[in-house]
Structures are given as C-alpha cells and as structure tokens.
Amino acid sequence: SELAGFYRRTGKNDKMQETIAKLANSSGTPLFDGAATLVRTGRQLPAAIKMLNRYIAQGGTPDAPVYQAYYQLGLAYQKLGDKQAAKEHFQQATQIANYLPAEKALSDSDSQ
C-alpha cells in the first residue's frame, strides 16, 4: 500500500508493519504490495511468505503477475538463508515469464 510505503521511506517501520498487518487479510494488489514491502525491508518474512502464497493461490493481478510473487518468495527465502527454496521460487518465476530479476537471481544462486 502507499501508506505502508510512506512509513517505510520515513523510517517508521512499526507503523509500516501495522499497516501491512491490516492488509494480510486483503486480496489482490494490496496483498502483494504489503508482502513485497515486508520482503524489501526484511521484516516479518514468515508473514510475507504466507501473504505471497495466498496471493498466488488467488491467481495474481495484471498489476502484479504471479511470477513476481514467486520472485518475491525467492527473495524472502534467500533472506531467511534457505537457498534451495529461494532457487525453486526463482525457477518458478522464470518458467512463467522471462523475468530478468528472477533470471539474474537464479544465475547468482547457481554461481554460489
């Protein structure tokens, strides 16, 4: 959400997390945006993973296709230190679309 993004940019992480917690039961783009913000900041990654899995189960939206959710899942698992799960999610993203960030992350994980 724009409000969560504002709180993130101004360093008000507690307010950001409160706003995203309200989005956890939403659907569509707000659900994706909230989860992506958590992944970007490295906060509440297990909650972000649940949100992204719910988003994928809902089928995604044109604004945030499912392959972007798989990429965000890869980033979340990467931050949690689970390289195998990260790689699997990056692969899923690249199987759906030629998504350069996921392809780069996959190539980086192969070289480690």
Q: Where are the domains of the chain?
A: 2-110
Amino acid at 93: A
How far apart are the C-alpha atoms of 89 and 84, rounded to whole Å? 9
Question: pLDDT value at position 51?
Answer: 92
Sign of CA dihedral 45, 49, 52, 54: negative
Question: pLDDT value at position 46?
Answer: 95
Closest among 99, 49, 97, 51 to 74, alpha carbons compared: 49
Question: pLDDT value at position 49?
Answer: 97
Pick the CATH number of 2-110 from 1.25.40.10, 3.40.720.10, 3.30.70.890, 3.30.300.30: 1.25.40.10
Residues whose CB falls within 8 Å of the CB of residue 84, separated by 6 or more in sequence, listed in order: none
Print pLDDT tens along the chain (112 aa): 566 666 677 777 777 667 666 666 677 888 898 899 899 999 889 999 999 999 999 999 998 999 999 999 999 999 999 999 999 999 999 999 989 999 999 898 877 6
Burial class (CB in 10 A: 0-12, 13-18, 19+), 69: buried
Question: pLDDT value at position 112?
Answer: 66
Q: Is the pTM for the entire model greater than 0.75?
A: yes
Burial class (CB in 10 A: 0-12, 13-18, 19+), 95: exposed
**SS3 label, residue 93:** helix
Question: pLDDT value at position 69?
Answer: 97
